[in-house]
Structure 1
Amino acid sequence: MIELMGLAVAANDVEVVEIYAGKNLLQEEIFANRTVESLPPSAYSSPNTNIADYLERFPGLNKTGQGGLFQSYSVRGLSAWRIRTTVDGIPIITDRRAGNSASFLPPSLVALIEVNRSSGSLLHGSGALGGVLNLSTRKPEEFTFSITQQAPTNATSMTIGHGSMSNSFAASFRQSDNAKTASGLPLNSEYKQFAASLYHQGNLFDHYDYNISWLPSLGSDIGKSSLQYPETQLAIYPEDNHSLMQATLYSDSWLIKAFHHYQNWDSLVKRIGKRENLTAYQSHTYGMNLYSSTHASSSSWRFGVDWISRGGIKIADSETSLEHIKTDQVLIDGNTHNVAPYASAAIKLADLKINLGARYDYFKAQNAGLSRTDNHLSYQGAIERQAKNHTFKASYSTAFRFPSITELYFNGVTPRGNTFGNESLEPETSKTLEFNYLYSHSVISGRLNVYKSELRNFIERTKLSNGDRTYNNLDNVSLSGFEVAVDFTPMPEHAFTWSLAKQSGQQSNGEFIQGITPLKTNLSHRTYWREIELSSELSHRFKKHRVSPAEQEISSSTTLNAYAKWKINKHWAGTFKITNLLDSEFKTTADEDAPFVEERQIAIQLDWQN
């Protein structure tokens, strides 16, 4: 789980124990993971509203499922609970069937997005089988203000921040009306959301540093965009409230971190001419990370213990029939516990670096008198060689995921329909072999990732003949693919980035699994003209005709986004942004209920800074 070690800052390729405001606890080159990529949201052209929009700029990462503010995402075809998402190192574990969305955090409060595509179970535990995403929040050290207006959705966003080296505050409010497609079809994409970030750091006894942060988020009337809207179904989240807190105490060689995430949200599903279901969710995620490291002349060791528990997991459903007969029932009243010690070593031999590690996880889930325990041992090994501008890396890792409490015990109504858990689900496991090549130069640089994974007991939501859904284990699933990206800067005022990603996933019987994105390529260009920064992003997704039973074929699609940014005076800057400039109309994903993308959107943004 622990974000304290697993992520790297792309600018200097140093794997860090994340301490906020840019200060690193450990900067140990021997533990560096150069396959991790990071970008600030300000690097993107479009006036994006959800985290999935930003993640699509990383090759191999794509949207999945249905649309709206809570659009879910996949990494190399793996999504939902297989991706570990964290905010400032706090794990985000929710009970949405679509997965762990971090869209309760406005992009204007995000300073950096870090992506580790490799299986991360060694350092991050269950839920990192498909990779790790970490969102670092902004911590301004001076007064900042930003306002954005977008049309034709009438979307508004305002962000204000202030702070110093020791204290910071940032707050954001945003709202949007429902959107339409290019042909005028309505989309259920409205939302209202307020969020804030408070941070403090200091020193104790001149020997120990600490930091404390709190992030509250309040959302309301958040639409769940679906192909079934508005004729057969209306799905919204009337409330979506979160509170994230963490406190970290650390020295030069050890760290103690405690965290808490409270969530309380409702899902309202109106089936036109049938019934209405209001489902209430709440839970507490809390835990602690203990970490230490020791070093010798040519090797380093690190040890840790992770503890993550979820308590007060309560899911209740209230159904109202056409005759206004109301039926209430408790679907889940449970908790989960996960304890995991781990150790890893990094050994330096001339120009070679060898990494080895192992982790043991114990897991327990309880719900209404039912109990389930599991345990798993995971390990990984990697060898890396650097030669001037070249880096070669080969790695082998095992990973796992315990079934979520929802997959095991939930029996109720979701925006998809009736969904039933399966108490007999086995944990997912995987074995992954990956090769990475990185080339670095002042004019041209790039990377190539090639991977192959074999998964057992793959948990997939399947549709029954009566339209209901449940979860089953698939014996064997094979995933493979590659990502290639090239950065080209022929002169200081021009920068190009091109990427291409391909992924495939099949069961042993030849059937395809859900969530695999077809071949996709992106080209971005950034330049300066008379002190105006101009940027454009062209993305092409090829046709998908190999689909799973719960998907639909989708045609090829092309999207063009652009922006122009200029300095108005000493304090003010303006930005003009266009999303879907070509006004294209295509399905967001291959999901059977996926809606079409929004029509062309135009936004004006004003920023003030000292």
Structure 2
Amino acid sequence: MRFLSSALLFSPFLIVSAVHADDVETIEVRAERNRLLASELADNNTKALAVFDTATVKSTWAEWLAVDPSAHLNGQGGLLQSYSVRGFSRARIRTEVDGVPIITDRRAGNSASFISPVLIERIDLQKGPSSTLYGSDAMGGVINLVSTQFETNQVSASWQSNDQYKELGLLLGNETIQTGLSYRHANDAEAANNTALNTGFEQFGGLVKWSSTMNGINVNASWLPSLAKNIGKSSSQYPAERIVDYPEELHSVSQVALQKDNDWYLKLFHHYQNWDTDTLRVGSRQNTTNYQSHTLGGLALMSTQWLAGEGRIGVDWLSRKGVDIRDTEMSLTGEVNYHKKVVDAAQDNYALFSDLHWQIDTIKVSVGARFDVIEQRQHISEAVTESKVDDHQLNGSFAIEHNFSADHQLRFEWGTGFRFPTLSELYFEGETPRGTTIGNANLVPEQSQGSQLRWLAQLAPNWQMNAEAYYYNLDNYIERYDINDDVRSYRNLDSARIYGAELSLAWQGTSTKFRPWSMVLSGQYQKGETDEGQILADLLPAKITWHTDWRGEDWQGDSFTWTNQLTWQLSQTSIGSGEVRRDNNFVWNMSLEKPLSSDVTLSVYGKNLTDSDHFTTADEDAPYTVGRSFGAKLTISFN
């Protein structure tokens, strides 16, 4: 078929297949769990973010995701910048690395920026009612970073102005084993108005991947270690009121998986993390938070045939052990005011899920169900919060898809979703970079009922369209609110709704004159509010993005690729708790990539060429965005 699969039209990573030579290239990549079995068993609105601008270096995964019309930056800035998808943020977005869930207990949301882009091949993004398959933390979608798969050797070096960002990468591999090393360093950047931004960091990363086939069973394993130092957290309070840094951050992500054809699949994983936070309240005191935890679990899947349909049944296990958070407060003279353990918790989540798919001529029908049981425990005997929470959830989904012709496809999805409160939301009682935060052990799980309608169309031989509209009803929405100027807590809202639309148009030149050109025009608009009319926080601002590519030849007949991206972000006047109004802004990014030989490629780029001095998000503590920056990247392949 000639239409784009899902809303991939211009999302970020890896072009996997192509339509007719005169049509726009399409992307068909499945998220981690959707690749376990044959692709026909797993069509539930998963997209791959194909990096449009591979020549441009981006230090955070939030920057990569923001290319998609449904995604935006969230919270404060720096390397650990978090993100939102369709207005769902924080723990409502499930982040994975090679299918391993990343749960960091940061109130701003999970971030996988401890992994260098040098070691990642693509991002898979699943939007829509996805909790039936992935469980808690996936109400708004699933983001899976897929580590690099390569069989050649490569070395790369990048540099950019403003923050003097430097990145070195080395990849060595063959069909059995791949290894990678990365080093990144950045100084503090400046905004367009010369405001200092606390964005510096230093990071070392590695990758080891191994795969083989034994007695008909495919075996693969991977390990991603990372060590970072002196990570700045940028905010509007820096440096006059509050200075926040992460002196050290250690991560280790590992997994091993076995698969027998399309019959069964087994996976075990582990993520260890250990990091510190230093918060200096200028003229007052200094707080240090020490954090460590283990996340481990497994997944077992088996294909099934039932009621004339094909599907699978699976068991999911996710456990969190040794979640340990300690808080130390010191006076400016070095005296210890207190040292205490604020969280000593654990969590076990078990689930049984299944889905079935039927193909009837041009109509495809899918149904799914998932049952979760969870136990969350706080071990601190002197804690004022309750020590144990037990809960369970049953959810389901339905989808129907009809191909009216080779050029038009209509798909409707409906599903229920949920999110258990995080351990921090339940039990944390201590200091954070934003101030004092008090957990609420009486929180109940969030619930959602979501629906989505998608129309994919080939409007002409060189024009394609992807239009999506969605609507979510939310119950028991967990909101972070201010008790006073320096104390925050959490509460459940009775009910709320999030709704919006996304549109993408793609054009590919077909004539001799315009064949080198391609263009993408995309945008989104959404609203979110409670039944009482209160605006929800973390909603996406309306935005329009125009992306163009020109793949041409210079005067010597050598090829090059020129990329241009313009983004208009409309003003935010409807704001939620903890947010402030923001003006509209216009950002221009551009890059040029040129092969110097068959093995050497040079890229140069410019970011924020308009030197816009807008804020990164509507968050009341959000910093200015980084000012105009230029950079270069050199990549060399070798045997």
Match in the other structure for 2:482 = 463
Match in the other structure for 2:525 = 502
Correspondence list, 1:128-277, <5 A: 128-205=138-215, 207-252=216-261, 253-277=263-287
State whether residues 55 and 604 of structure 2, in contact with CA within 8 Å, keep that contact through their aligned partners in structure 1: no
Are positions 1:571 and 2:599 aligned together? yes
| Among 335, 344, 347, the residue aligned to 1:336 | 347
Match in the other structure for 1:3 = none
Are positions 1:420 and 2:438 aligned together? yes
Once the two structures are TM-superposed, the CA of residue 564 in structure 1 deviates from its matched residue by: 0.5
Residue-by-residue CA offset, 1:511-530 (whole Å, 9 max, x unaligned): 10111122111010000232
SS in 1 for 2:314: strand
SS in 2 for 1:484: strand
- Whole-Å Cα distance in 2 between the matches of residues 425 and 15 of structure 1? 37
Match in the other structure for 1:83 = 93
Residue-by-residue CA offset, 1:301-347 (whole Å, 9 max, x unaligned): 21000000000000001110134221210010110000000111111
Correspondence list, 1:64-79, <5 A: 64-79=74-89
Match in the other structure for 1:604 = 632
- Whole-Å Cα distance in 2 between the matches of residues 525 and 154 of structure 1? 28
Once the two structures are TM-superposed, the CA of residue 467 in structure 1 deviates from its matched residue by: 2.3
State whether residues 15 and 31 of structure 1, in contact with CA within 8 Å, keep that contact through their aligned partners in structure 2: no
State whether residues 31 and 125 of structure 2, in contact with CA within 8 Å, keep that contact through their aligned partners in structure 1: no
SS in 2 for 1:26: coil
Match in the other structure for 2:384 = none
Match in the other structure for 1:407 = 425
> How many residues get paired?
600
Correspondence list, 1:204-603, <5 A: 204-205=214-215, 207-252=216-261, 253-295=263-305, 299-326=309-336, 327-368=338-379, 370-386=387-403, 387-440=405-458, 443-491=462-510, 492-529=515-552, 530=554, 531-603=559-631
Relative contact order higher in (CA < 8 Å, ≥ 6 apart): 2
Once the two structures are TM-superposed, the CA of residue 388 in structure 1 deviates from its matched residue by: 1.2
State whether residues 199 and 214 of structure 1, in contact with CA within 8 Å, keep that contact through their aligned partners in structure 2: yes
- Whole-Å Cα distance in 1 between the matches of residues 416 and 508 of structure 2? 38
- Whole-Å Cα distance in 1 between the matches of residues 564 and 289 of structure 2? 42
State whether residues 503 and 516 of structure 1, in contact with CA within 8 Å, keep that contact through their aligned partners in structure 2: yes
Once the two structures are TM-superposed, the CA of residue 242 in structure 1 deviates from its matched residue by: 0.5
- Whole-Å Cα distance in 2 between the matches of residues 408 and 499 of structure 1? 39
SS in 1 for 2:622: coil
The letter for the 1-side match of 2:545 is N
State whether residues 55 and 593 of structure 2, in contact with CA within 8 Å, keep that contact through their aligned partners in structure 1: no
State whether residues 360 and 378 of structure 1, in contact with CA within 8 Å, keep that contact through their aligned partners in structure 2: yes
- Whole-Å Cα distance in 2 between the matches of residues 17 and 58 of structure 1? 16
State whether residues 349 and 372 of structure 2, in contact with CA within 8 Å, keep that contact through their aligned partners in structure 1: yes
State whether residues 162 and 168 of structure 1, in contact with CA within 8 Å, keep that contact through their aligned partners in structure 2: yes
State whether residues 421 and 471 of structure 1, in contact with CA within 8 Å, keep that contact through their aligned partners in structure 2: yes
Q: Percent identity?
A: 33
Q: Alpha carbons of 1:277 and 1:247: their partners in 2 closer, same or farther (altered >3 Å)?
A: same
Structure 1 residue runs of 4+, over 6 Å off? 6-10
State whether residues 119 and 131 of structure 1, in contact with CA within 8 Å, keep that contact through their aligned partners in structure 2: yes
Once the two structures are TM-superposed, the CA of residue 457 in structure 1 deviates from its matched residue by: 0.4
- Whole-Å Cα distance in 2 between the matches of residues 15 and 541 of structure 1? 29
- Whole-Å Cα distance in 1 between the matches of residues 101 and 264 of structure 2? 20
- Whole-Å Cα distance in 1 between the matches of residues 509 and 474 of structure 2? 43
Q: Alpha carbons of 1:415 and 1:292: their partners in 2 closer, same or farther (altered >3 Å)?
A: same
Once the two structures are TM-superposed, the CA of residue 46 in structure 1 deviates from its matched residue by: 3.5
- Whole-Å Cα distance in 2 between the matches of residues 254 and 318 of structure 1? 48
- Whole-Å Cα distance in 1 between the matches of residues 306 and 332 of structure 2? 72
State whether residues 525 and 537 of structure 1, in contact with CA within 8 Å, keep that contact through their aligned partners in structure 2: yes
SS in 1 for 2:37: strand
SS in 2 for 1:227: coil
Gaps of 5+ in 2: 1-5, 9-13, 18-26, 382-386
- Whole-Å Cα distance in 1 between the matches of residues 56 and 526 of structure 2? 25
The letter for the 1-side match of 2:455 is Y
The letter for the 2-side match of 1:423 is A
State whether residues 562 and 577 of structure 1, in contact with CA within 8 Å, keep that contact through their aligned partners in structure 2: yes
Residue-by-residue CA offset, 1:580-599 (whole Å, 9 max, x unaligned): 01111101000000000111
TM-score, normalising length: structure 2: 0.91
Residue-by-residue CA offset, 1:177-213 (whole Å, 9 max, x unaligned): 00001111100000111111110001122x2110011
Q: Alpha carbons of 1:55 and 1:17: their partners in 2 closer, same or farther (altered >3 Å)?
A: closer
Once the two structures are TM-superposed, the CA of residue 426 in structure 1 deviates from its matched residue by: 0.7
Residue-by-residue CA offset, 1:201-256 (whole Å, 9 max, x unaligned): 01122x21100110001111000000000000000111111000000011011000
Moved more, 81-90 or 113-122: 113-122
- Whole-Å Cα distance in 2 between the matches of residues 475 and 377 of structure 1? 20
State whether residues 572 and 607 of structure 1, in contact with CA within 8 Å, keep that contact through their aligned partners in structure 2: yes
Match in the other structure for 2:11 = none
Residue-by-residue CA offset, 1:50-93 (whole Å, 9 max, x unaligned): 00001011111000110011111001111010001111111111
Match in the other structure for 2:24 = none
- Whole-Å Cα distance in 1 between the matches of residues 31 and 185 of structure 2? 35
The letter for the 2-side match of 1:479 is I
Residue-by-residue CA offset, 1:539-589 (whole Å, 9 max, x unaligned): 110011111231100000000001001111232110001000111110100
Residue-by-residue CA offset, 1:23-62 (whole Å, 9 max, x unaligned): 96533325324x3221344635632110000101111100
- Whole-Å Cα distance in 2 between the matches of residues 14 and 305 of structure 1? 26
- Whole-Å Cα distance in 2 between the matches of residues 571 and 343 of structure 1? 47
- Whole-Å Cα distance in 2 between the matches of residues 604 and 395 of structure 1? 43
The letter for the 1-side match of 2:549 is R
Q: Alpha carbons of 1:17 and 1:209: their partners in 2 closer, same or farther (altered >3 Å)?
A: farther
- Whole-Å Cα distance in 2 between the matches of residues 374 and 30 of structure 1? 30
State whether residues 15 and 29 of structure 1, in contact with CA within 8 Å, keep that contact through their aligned partners in structure 2: no
SS in 1 for 2:509: strand
- Whole-Å Cα distance in 1 between the matches of residues 7 and 342 of structure 2? 37
Match in the other structure for 2:20 = none
Once the two structures are TM-superposed, the CA of residue 391 in structure 1 deviates from its matched residue by: 1.3
State whether residues 45 and 561 of structure 1, in contact with CA within 8 Å, keep that contact through their aligned partners in structure 2: no
CA RMSD of aligned residues (A): 1.9
Q: Alpha carbons of 1:495 and 1:14: their partners in 2 closer, same or farther (altered >3 Å)?
A: closer
- Whole-Å Cα distance in 2 between the matches of residues 42 and 385 of structure 1? 29
TM-score, normalising length: structure 1: 0.95
- Whole-Å Cα distance in 2 between the matches of residues 603 and 464 of structure 1? 44
State whether residues 116 and 133 of structure 1, in contact with CA within 8 Å, keep that contact through their aligned partners in structure 2: yes
State whether residues 47 and 579 of structure 1, in contact with CA within 8 Å, keep that contact through their aligned partners in structure 2: no
Q: Alpha carbons of 1:297 and 1:505: their partners in 2 closer, same or farther (altered >3 Å)?
A: closer
State whether residues 55 and 603 of structure 2, in contact with CA within 8 Å, keep that contact through their aligned partners in structure 1: no
SS in 2 for 1:62: strand
Once the two structures are TM-superposed, the CA of residue 126 in structure 1 deviates from its matched residue by: 0.3
